[in-house]
Structure 1
Amino acid sequence: MSSIEQRRQFLALAATTALVAGCSIRAPLPGQAPASAAYRREAATHLYRKYPDRIYRGRLPPLLYAVGVLEVEVNQGGRVGSTRWLRGPSHAPEVMAEIERLVRAAAPFPSPPGFGRVQYVDTWLWDRSGRFQLDTLTEGQL
């Protein structure tokens, strides 16, 4: 094999390697792991167990007092790091404050998988009675 052919093969191999390396999918860093549906369900179950008297049993009424979407960051050991409203019920600031209080008081949550932290999002469905369901475990609506 001539040196020109060897060089062409080397360049073709190098180009293929670069292409494959550029297309690879990186796993998230441990501290940035997105929440799986399984963890979101675990967190919702944890909240239901922590507050059994606050859960609305059965199908929710057609009109709810408040609906809010909350992102929760859970650190190692199940500590709540931060909360952030993605869609807050701004007409009911008392509900927003109560939900944040419930989440923080429910710690420790199940430890995130792996090392680091996890962020999960759930929708809070809030009845006028002060009872709620989480969208992850909802029994539906009339």
Structure 2
Amino acid sequence: MAGTAVLLASCSSAPPPAPEQPRAAVVQPAPAEDPVARSAQPAPAMVIKTSAATNPRAYRQDAAQHLYALNQERIWKGRMPPLLYAIGVLQVEVDGQGQVRNLSWMRAPRHAPEVIAEIERTVRSAAPYPVPARMGKVVYTDTWLWHKSGRFQLDTLTEGQD
């Protein structure tokens, strides 16, 4: 029986070689950021504009231009259609550093609470506003003309309505 086992063992062929596995690429870790080098780089300068307005009506023009510059893709181009989704009149208090201190609705579009929230978010996120240098602080009022698409115009810079 031992002879049969030896005979059978000599008749079998070697198993085929295992298929070659793809080699994993060796990835070098990114070099750690040097906090000293990072702090040595100058931070981008934030340009805060100054308004020469001497009254709230004149400042309203500067504030509207500031809002338009930051929301170019959301501004309704051309004359607005006759039926708007919402119209709101908002009073904004801006301090001596251009920060929004208070928002007060004189006429809120209560039928569209999402518009109220979006206008408030837009106004607050646009800070700092041009610094009201000649007034110290300012409270100005503007009317928001809101289309159902989410685009808007401010009455101060409106192109009119059909």
For this structure pair, what is the TM-score category when the shorter chain's length is used for normalisation? 0.7 to 0.9
What does residue 108 of structure 1 align with? 128
What does residue 141 of structure 1 align with? 161
Does the CA contact (< 8 Å) of 1:76 and 1:112 recur in 2?
yes
Structure 1 residues not aligned, in runs of 5+: 1-33
Moved over 6 A (4+): none
TM-score by length of 2: 0.65
SS of the residue 2:121 aligns to: helix
What does residue 152 of structure 2 align with? 132
Alignment pair present for 1:72 and 2:87: no
C-alpha separation in 1, matches of 2:55 and 2:154: 16
What does residue 8 of structure 1 align with? none
What letter corresponds to residue 123 of structure 2 in structure 1?
A: V
SS of the residue 1:103 aligns to: helix
What letter corresponds to residue 126 of structure 2 in structure 1?
A: A
Does the CA contact (< 8 Å) of 1:44 and 1:134 recur in 2?
yes
Q: How many residues align?
A: 109
SS of the residue 1:95 aligns to: helix
What does residue 119 of structure 1 align with? 139
What does residue 79 of structure 2 align with? 59
C-alpha separation in 2, matches of 1:116 and 1:35: 11
Does the CA contact (< 8 Å) of 2:55 and 2:135 recur in 1?
no
C-alpha separation in 2, matches of 1:58 and 1:47: 17
Structure 2 residues not aligned, in runs of 5+: 1-53
Identical pairs, percent:
61
C-alpha separation in 2, matches of 1:35 and 1:134: 18
Q: Deviations over 1:71-104 (max 9, x none)?
A: 0000011000010000000000000000000000
What does residue 116 of structure 2 align with? 96
Instruction: Name which structure has the greater RCO, CA cutoff 8 Å, separation 6+.
Output: 1
- Aligned Cα RMSD in Å? 1.2
